[in-house]
Structure 1
């Protein structure tokens, strides 16, 4: 993202119709993963692409998506 301040894409809700929730997830079961900062950048780039901004984050850290083992 050249020339865009990522922090400007994180703003409070104000009912503009382009308020988005960013989602980041890390799984301890996966060896290769994207860092939280990389995921943040990817989400902000996607939000900018649709003219939106992020009003909050749903983070799921260190929770495996695999079913529990017995």
Structure 2
């Protein structure tokens, strides 16, 4: 599988900006026919090698709230 899938490329771009992606975003970006363990591990490895953390939705919400709070305090 090549990482030229539009949704995956978009996810990588957004992940680089934010520093993380969520498992939900990752699941939505990967086509349904790509569910083999080796392919998924390759995608996850590529994301992590680019310095992008993979987190759960709850952590993302907490980070968003903390980021918004920090912006308000400036």
Which category describes the TM-score, using the shorter chain as reference length? 0.3 to 0.5
Bigger radius of gyration: 1
Q: Structure 2-normalised TM-score?
A: 0.32
> What is the TM-score with the length of structure 1 in the denominator?
0.33
Q: Whose strand proportion is higher, 1 or 2?
A: 1
Larger helix share, 1 or 2: 2
Higher relative contact order (CA 8 A, sep 6+): 1
